[in-house]
A and B are shown apart, each in its own frame.
Chain A
């Protein structure tokens, strides 16, 4: 998103590695090596918050809960059960991630930052448990005798060796953050942050993505906790206090919430600030200054230090144009899902109703849409057409009635599930994902075809790369179809309105839906654009996709539709072939406002 190129990435990483390698040669005091280890541990935990807070936009005030699980897990398994430290850390990490799933799964369903407080409660329980279960944890005196960390018999005996271990892992977390950011998951999360309604319309499972990031971030925190226990050689309840949780959060805010490096840079910056204040002997001011810095960063440079750095570099460098994409020579329609059987009923709506208070927005409406048809839903303003779409796509709750689509009853399914099941929609107000290129917007539409695992994303395995390549090609083909190949790398918000609609259309096409719902696609288009739209809709249908369209442009509707359904005041007024419907007196009356005879 920050537009750093691969070269910049490699150079940045190399510089970081070089600095980290050299540091122990320059600073020889044990104290400073210790500071280096502490920063590295904080960086590991904070990188997890990049995933959770930065990418998934979920605050967690008690994220150190998982450091506690990791720390005590490793401590207890090695001290009480004599298990190998590396294995103990892995087991503790697994426990943390399972715990995160069990908490996150229900809590993340609630909108509105409930996880922030929920995680705080979890951390407070764990701290109290650590204090109270004296026989197991050693209580507030701490769990002593934690051995040095070792992997397969190799003991990290010196602080310098431990420093290298910790920072290797810290850099590894940076790579993981970067891999996720660049993958379908990163795109999906940015889509969710931009518009949840738009994200659901392309089948992105919002809750699932947030839970995934919470689980991963818990894993990071757990590893940091385990390594802390082995470094301190003792595990006390107050090591991972509420303050530690807040420091993690502040670190990522200062470092940069939307950069893979945010955790590392933030941990460094915060530690530098703390050391400076310690030297100035101002311990009580620290919290106030940290608070002011946090507020100032959020308000003045929300991208944090890394965001500021990226801006500086962009100003310095000339616009780097990516190597031009090889546009597929034959731009044909994306392959369409297999037909249920030509002319069969694809969508059956039976007695559908929805009231808002006393207003019956949709009242006992029934109609069907045949496979391969273009069906138009028309009616005067306020007839209930858009509400009907929202009901069909899971954006509004259905009061009564049934919706069958391709053999399944889909009433009251979540919007994203309906999209994955083969109904794609556009919006009256275009819902594009800001902050992503046109190409990335369209690539989001392929999310439902993702077959690779979370692990292949995290490690950017060849299977993921192959999948990404396919996604890219399909997206480019769809862009070619709507004549937008030249704009693949443009910022969608900079495009004229008509083209923004085309982007939304392309994004919908790559879903390979069985049924497409278009909500006033011609509104705001000029005559020639409307004509192109009409041709496009015909091409979409010719490729086997069924179309249901809400539109006020009667010329367009009458020219395209095989079947017209007229709504008025929430109810169905008429339906039939366009020519027949058009001349019915009650339809004319509804449009012109004359009393029905």
Chain B
């Protein structure tokens, strides 16, 4: 196989992979700190793309439009936590997780009502030209995606490792009960992680919109791939989740690139199923044993 095609596939895979990585981050943050698998995580990508694209289309400067998308993501994340999760904090986890599915439908329904079915274009963040890297030809937006993902990771790292909020989040992820006994407020932690995952997803949506267009129905796919990215990384640390998301992105472009474009979807989703089944074999060995004390 020739190097140029390989590099082309690998590097463009890394760009969509970045978005999956951001969604995977959202999944892992919420799941570890609050025990809730947020099935609305992919919808924030959709919201971010639509907010940025429609505001930029109305003539707002691009940085402001993207900023507004991030703020919208954070606000909706906060709203999700406050309205649909905080009131049922003591309900069985099955219910709290199912509610996130309902909220995903609310977000999708709201998007359909506000933006209708037509996809929205968004101009590239800098030039619409291309650059060459390791023999691959890539649009400049790809570089933006990499840079923004890296920046997000850096900021998140600072949040988690350098601030008291971050300590609280990590404590909750480690042992929610012990954290609460130490006076850490689980309400605050829940609000932070949901707002953060909303903002992170929305940023991803704004960043990918110039390449894929923004549309009300794209959230499911980002959610699915981000989820599997998080899963193959064992739903554990944020960094591994990012690696998982990137891996899904690269695997997807390879699978799609080396087969005919018609069966692209079939190959991609079959691959996801294979990954799921294979990871069940892998993860099973390290499967969390049934905790006798964990009564709920």
Contacts and interface: CB of A to CB of B under 8 A. Distances in A.
Interface of A: 53, 57, 59, 61, 103, 106-107, 109-114, 116-118, 120-122, 124-125, 128-129, 132, 193, 195-197, 200, 242, 246, 249-250, 253, 284-292, 294-295, 298-299, 302, 386, 390, 394-397, 415, 427-429, 431
A197 B106 CA distance: 35
A257 to B, nearest CB: 9
Given A110-B280, A395-B292, A431-B292, A132 B262 contact: yes
B46 to A, nearest CB: 13
B284 A284 contact: no
Contacts of A106: 276-277, 280-281
Interface stretch (B1-9, B89-97, B193-201): B89-97
B188 interface: no
Given A57-B94, A200-B290, A396-B289, A291 B269 contact: no
Contacts of B88: 299
Contacts, number: 159
Contact of B224 (A121, A132, A193): A121
Interface of B: 31, 37, 39, 84, 87-88, 91-92, 94-95, 97-99, 101-110, 112-113, 116, 220, 223-224, 227-228, 231, 235, 262-263, 265-266, 269-270, 272-273, 276-277, 279-281, 283-284, 287-296
Contact of B97 (A59, A125, A386): A59
Given A113-B97, A197-B292, 12 more contacts: A57-B94, A112-B235, A114-B280, A117-B231, A132-B262, A197-B294, A253-B98, A291-B105, A292-B106, A295-B103, A298-B102, A397-B289
A395 B291 CA distance: 7
Given A111-B288, A290-B109, A291-B105, A128 B269 contact: yes
B95 A302 contact: yes
A291 B109 contact: yes
B52 to A, nearest CB: 21
B272 A109 contact: no
Contact of A287 (B97, B109, B220): B109
Nearest to B226: A117
Contact of A250 (B103, B105, B293): B105
Nearest to A282: B113
B106 A288 contact: yes
Contact of B101 (A121, A249, A428): A249
B224 A287 contact: no
A128 B113 contact: no
Contacts of B104: 291
B283 to A, nearest CB: 6
Contacts of A125: 265-266, 269-270, 273
Nearest to B262: A132
A288 B109 contact: yes
Contact of B98 (A59, A111, A121, A193): A59
Contacts of A290: 105, 109
Nearest to A125: B269
A113 B292 contact: no
Contact of A109 (B109, B231, B273, B280): B280
A460 B269 CA distance: 39
17 contacts: A61-B39, A110-B231, A111-B288, A118-B273, A121-B272, A125-B266, A125-B270, A242-B220, A287-B112, A288-B109, A291-B105, A294-B105, A295-B103, A295-B106, A298-B98, A395-B290, A427-B292
Nearest to B96: A298
A9 B263 CA distance: 50
A286 B288 CA distance: 41
Contact of A118 (B103, B112, B276): B276
B70 to A, nearest CB: 23
A54 to B, nearest CB: 10
A311 B84 CA distance: 23
Contacts of B92: 193
Contacts of A286: 109
Given A200-B290, A291-B109, A431-B295, A299 B273 contact: no
Contact of A128 (B94, B266, B288): B266
Contacts of B288: 111
B269 A193 contact: no
Contacts of B91: 302
